[in-house]
Chains A and B, each alone.
Chain A
Amino acid sequence: MIDLLIPTMISCIVAFVVVFVMTPPLMKILQKNNLAVKDMNKKEDVMVVRPGGPAIITGIIASEIVLYAFLQMNEILAILITTSAAFVVGYVDDRKVMGGWFKPVALAVSAIPIIVLGAYDTDLAFPLFGTVQIPALYLVLIIFMIPITGNTINSIDVLNGVASGFMVIASFSLSICLFIIQNYEIAIVSLPLGFVSLAFYKYHKVPSKIFPGDSGALTLGAMYGAIAIVGGVEIIAAIALLPAVINSFLFLSSVKRVVEHRQIKGKPVDHTDDFRLKATGDKKAPVTLVRLILAGGPLFEKQVGHMIFKLTIFSGVLAVITAFMMGVAL
């Protein structure tokens, strides 16, 4: 454990510093190339540059290479290749409008390196009841997991700072769980995800100076999914991600099909005169987490973000309880 301390510290510092230092020049380049979109939740015409994905993936690659130099684990390579592939998928979607099925299918392909490198265990671990062996079914689970986690994080990226702040809480919760179940090596491998998200949150929080874009959100989501598979903590990871899962579930159960957000006709959220967010009564609009939060009355963007963070902390606590329950057998 002690011998893992130095690679842990170096990789975490590298993850944070690379994103923290690289994002401002990236913002300048994006500004220069006019790659900016209107921030819909601001009263004034505020343009925000996107995507921040290139800074995020650089931080992840640099920190995981540091870890690979020390640990030389196949699992690190699997996470690195899958995450990089998800970044490419997101970057293509950032630059060119793709169909609704492009991302799920392309992200499913991104999961293949995990299978090829054999960086998984076919035992699915459940709290209190033990494990179940599902050799064939597990391969299907891997293929589905990366599109689900990638799109889940992407779908919650609707307000300033929410996607990155959400990932800070969810990924650190997952790291704590990995330490609790004594999977120390994967716990260390997972830490850079939290530090990359934390460094990006500095620029993404209200008022955003940069948006992660699909490339950023899919990169964070895919890495989270890859860690869940490689670490054998699929159930715990799903629990830590529950607020975003609820958002996707509410969206899909109201729309009843897989569609891109831009294809949605109704408007779930509108603005008051003082530019607080309020839920609309539009029957065509999907039910989302933000819309449900706003059903209690209008709130400022920052307040909605904080409510989502409170829900994420709650699900993080449930994930930690679940991790402790993994060691208990009925």
Chain B
Amino acid sequence: MKSGLFGFLFGMWVLIIVGGGIVVTILGPITISGFGDYNWFIASVIKTIVALVLVVIWILILSKLKNWIFKKEIKL
């Protein structure tokens, strides 16, 4: 059980590092043109939507990881 908790912590850490990589390399460079002064705002909205989708995916992966590591304990 104890090693499972440390493993889960480590898994979360890896997910944060990988998620950060996706955010910086894919999300960060997104730019929009053709909307004049609103370019930055439209780009921000798109980045926000993509970031929210990423957060949902992150939570789903974390849930799967939790069920895999603690499958016996969660049934309790």
Contacts and interface: CB of A to CB of B under 8 A. Distances in A.
A250 B8 CA distance: 12
B1 A296 contact: yes
Interface in A101-138: 124, 126-137
Given A126-B23, A129-B21, A243-B9, A140 B48 contact: yes
Contact of A129 (B6, B25, B44, B72): B25
Contacts of A296: 1-2
A136 B48 contact: yes
Nearest to A321: B13
Interface residues of B, number: 35
Contacts of B74: 287
A253 B66 CA distance: 10
A116 B18 CA distance: 33
Given A127-B17, A314-B6, A136 B73 contact: no
A295 B1 contact: yes
9 contacts: A127-B17, A127-B20, A129-B24, A134-B51, A136-B40, A279-B73, A280-B76, A295-B73, A311-B9
Given A137-B51, A281-B76, A292 B1 contact: yes
B69 to A, nearest CB: 10
A238 interface: yes
A235 B10 contact: no
Interface of B: 1-2, 4-6, 8-10, 12-13, 16-17, 20-21, 23-25, 27-28, 40-41, 44-45, 47-48, 51, 59, 62-63, 66, 70, 72-74, 76
A318 B16 CA distance: 11
A137 B47 contact: yes
Given A137-B47, A311-B5, A239 B24 contact: no
B24 A130 contact: yes
Contacts of B23: 124, 126, 129, 132
Given A131-B24, A292-B73, 11 more contacts: A126-B17, A129-B23, A129-B24, A132-B27, A132-B28, A134-B47, A242-B9, A291-B76, A295-B72, A314-B9, A315-B13
Nearest to A135: B44
A47 interface: no
Contacts of A6: none
A134 B20 CA distance: 13
Nearest to B73: A295
A242 B10 CA distance: 10
A92 interface: no
Instruction: Enumerate the 3 nearest inter-chain pairs by beta-carbon distance, A residue then B residue, closest first.
Output: A126-B20, A296-B1, A132-B28
A73 interface: no
Contact of B1 (A140, A238, A280, A293): A293
Contacts of A311: 5-6, 9
A238 B17 CA distance: 12
Given A136-B41, A280-B76, A307-B2, A246 B8 contact: yes
